[in-house]
Amino acid sequence: MGYLALMASTESKKEQARAYHRAYRAKHYEKRLAYDRAYRAAHLEQVKATINRWHRAHRENVRINSKRWRDAHKEQHAAANARWKKANPARRLLAEQKRRAAKLASPGGGLSLEQWEAVDAACGGKCAYCLRDDKMTMDHVVPLSRGVAHDVANIVAACISCNASKGNRLVSEWRR
């Protein structure tokens, strides 16, 4: 066989192999998906740790790629974001306050979802200030802007209207 013929046949063999693998993957897709899911469920912590490690090692790439994806899928991203917020109101509050605290370089360890739920439960699902039964927000009794810690000890559940009206004031300055 001449060189060109050999190359052509090699190429066609490669293409055959690729087609075979594609067909194989398609045929076993559901099975593999189920296997992956089961594996992830059984090794959740391990998988999370691996993903986190990978993200830390590729932080800059991840940032650029995420941004590229978000820019290319703006509506999809906004919809997914809105869906998540609606499904996870408590986590949304936590994330918002964590961002604020980071922006203000607040000291303190922050709080976990369980801690926030405990605070909310301790307030009986009512606003700590007006005792109304409303949609709760997270209020720092001493405002974060005063340089205090973002910490569970400084947090109560407050309704949107009290939280907004109190703003960056101490309770004593607000309720005069």
Chain residues that interact with Zn ion, rule: CB under 5 A: 127, 129-130, 159, 162
Q: Please give the structure tokens belonging to residue 75.
A: 């509506």
Considering the complex, state which of residue 70 and residue 169 has its C-beta at the smaller distance from Zn ion.
169
Please give the C-alpha separations between residue 126 and each of 27, 38, 130, in angstroms, as whole numbers.
Answer: 55, 41, 8
What is the smallest separation between the CB atom of 141 and Zn ion, expressed in angstroms? 13
Task: State in angstroms the smallest separation of the CB of 128 from Zn ion.
Answer: 8
Shortest distance in whole angstroms from residue 56 CB to Zn ion: 41
Give me the helix-helix angle, 74-87 and 59-72, nearest 10°.
100
Of 169, 112, 115, nearest in space to 144 by CA = 169
Q: Closest separation between CB of residue 134 and Zn ion, Å?
A: 7
Cβ proximity of 139 and 101 under 8 Å = no
Q: How far is the CB of 112 from Zn ion (least distance, A)?
A: 24
Helix residue ranges, H only, the chain: 3-27, 29-42, 44-57, 59-72, 74-87, 89-103, 113-122, 160-166, 171-174
Measured from the CB atom, the residue of 106 and 162 that comes closer to Zn ion is 162
Q: Decide whether 101 or 127 has the Cβ nearer to Zn ion.
A: 127
CB under 8 Å to 168, separation ≥6 — which residues? 143, 145, 146
**Which residue number, 116 or 129, has a Cβ lying nearer to Zn ion?**
129
Closest CB to Zn ion among residues 48, 132:
132
